[in-house]
């Protein structure tokens, strides 16, 4: 007579279901992307779950599963409430640097969590860059440095260190750049809502590294040649390539869903490529690397 082995609780499966549910609700706009910055504060819950598994895991698997589900749902609910409850005070800082004789700009942007929007200044603007940064409490929302050498400039924008136990998820940045310079742009972002409208900017090189984010990118429309690399984690990525721009697109993904407009960019030999790519006046080379991401290219 065979003896039935005690049941085991599939904790890895429950964890994947929980993470997937949160990402789905964020993609649908039900939960904010800054939620991940609140969830990490509840890491001791993992120790509690491990303890429950050691004590009850094989003896009462159904009870253990119920306890784990309640703990996970309670943690997500508490983190959501904390994410939506803003700080009592908000700090605002501004950035403005003149264009001068600048012909080229190397810009490095590091953003933690919250909302960021980047785009262009009006044509003919005397400014090289303008920015408005909002953050929690009395801390400076962003730090920056700008150095110049001849007609070249280097800009570094970074999330400032917060004072005390303030939440970075409430940050809100708006950055506008000159249309008159050749731009080399690098963007690194955590759990954020990110909008990049580069259509009217002369971007020669773009590199993005993003985590659990909602990302909307409109690529340059009047740059003769642009190379772009986007590395996305658990993200919802929407890429728009302006009409008149020929593109060659390579995607490297693991658990990602990829949807590329093959009417404009037919697939051939592992690439999506415009038929007129070789002779087009405006060319884009786009390399997308995705984890558990949803990728849409139009």
131-179 residue pLDDT tens: 999 877 655 678 899 999 999 999 999 985 544 444 444 688 999 999 9
Tell me what the pLDDT averaged over the chain comes to: 83
Tell me the pairing of strands 152-159 and 104-111.
Answer: parallel
pLDDT at residue 3, rounded to an integer: 47
pLDDT at residue 227, rounded to an integer: 98
pLDDT tens per residue across span 239-254 = 999 999 999 999 998 7
User: What mean pLDDT comes out for the span 203-216?
Assistant: 92
Out of 108-112, 120-124, 218-222, 251-255, which region has the weakest mean confidence (pLDDT)? 251-255
pLDDT tens per residue across span 270-296 = 899 999 999 999 999 999 998 877 899
Out of 29-38, 73-82, 238-247, which region has the weakest mean confidence (pLDDT)? 29-38
pLDDT at residue 157, rounded to an integer: 95
Q: Distance between CA 232 and CA 189 in Å, rounded?
A: 10
Tell me the pairing of strands 267-268 and 271-273.
Answer: antiparallel
How many C-beta neighbours within 10 Å does residue 261 have?
13
pLDDT at residue 166, rounded to an integer: 46
Nearest to 255 by CA among 285, 226, 232: 232
pLDDT tens per residue across span 260-271 = 999 999 998 889
DSSP string across 62-89: HHHHHHHHHHHHHHHHHHHHHHHS--S-
pLDDT at residue 168, rounded to an integer: 46
Q: What percent of the chain has pLDDT over 70?
A: 78
- pTM for the whole structure: 0.72
User: What mean pLDDT comes out for the span 13-29?
Assistant: 70
Q: Distance between CA 282 and CA 276 in Å, rounded?
A: 10
* Ranges of each domain in the chain: 11-84, 90-297
């Amino acid at each position: 007579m065979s003896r039935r082995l005690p049941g085991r609780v599939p904790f890895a499966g429950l964890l994947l279901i929980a993470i997937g549910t949160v990402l789905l609700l964020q993609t649908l706009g039900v939960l904010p992307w800054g939620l991940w910055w609140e969830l990490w504060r509840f890491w001791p819950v993992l120790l509690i779950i491990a303890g429950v598994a050691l004590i009850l895991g094989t003896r009462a698997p159904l009870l253990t599963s119920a306890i784990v589900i309640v703990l996970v749902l309670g943690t997500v609910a508490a983190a959501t409430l904390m994410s939506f409850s803003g700080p009592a005070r908000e700090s605002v800082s501004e950035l403005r640097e003149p264009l001068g004789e600048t012909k080229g700009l190397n810009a490095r942007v590091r953003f933690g969590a919250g909302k960021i929007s980047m785009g262009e200044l009006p044509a003919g603007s005397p400014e090289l860059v303008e920015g408005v940064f909002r953050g929690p409490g009395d801390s400076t929302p962003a730090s920056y440095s700008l150095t110049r050498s001849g007609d070249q400039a280097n800009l570094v924008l970074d999330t400032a260190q917060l004072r005390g136990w303030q939440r970075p998820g409430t940050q809100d940045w708006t950055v506008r750049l000159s249309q008159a310079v050749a731009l080399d742009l690098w963007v690194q972002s955590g759990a954020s809502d990110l909008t990049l409208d580069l259509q009217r900017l002369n971007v020669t090189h773009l590199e993005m590294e993003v985590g659990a984010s909602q990302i909307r990118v409109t690529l340059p429309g009047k740059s003769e040649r642009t190379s772009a690399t986007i590395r996305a984690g658990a993200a919802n990525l929407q890429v728009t390539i302006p009409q008149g721009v020929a593109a060659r697109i390579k995607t490297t993904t693991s658990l990602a869903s990829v949807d590329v407009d093959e009417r404009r960019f037919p697939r051939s030999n592992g690439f999506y490529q415009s038929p007129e790519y070789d002779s087009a006046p405006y060319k884009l080379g786009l390399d997308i690397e995705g984890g558990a991401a949803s990728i849409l290219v139009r």
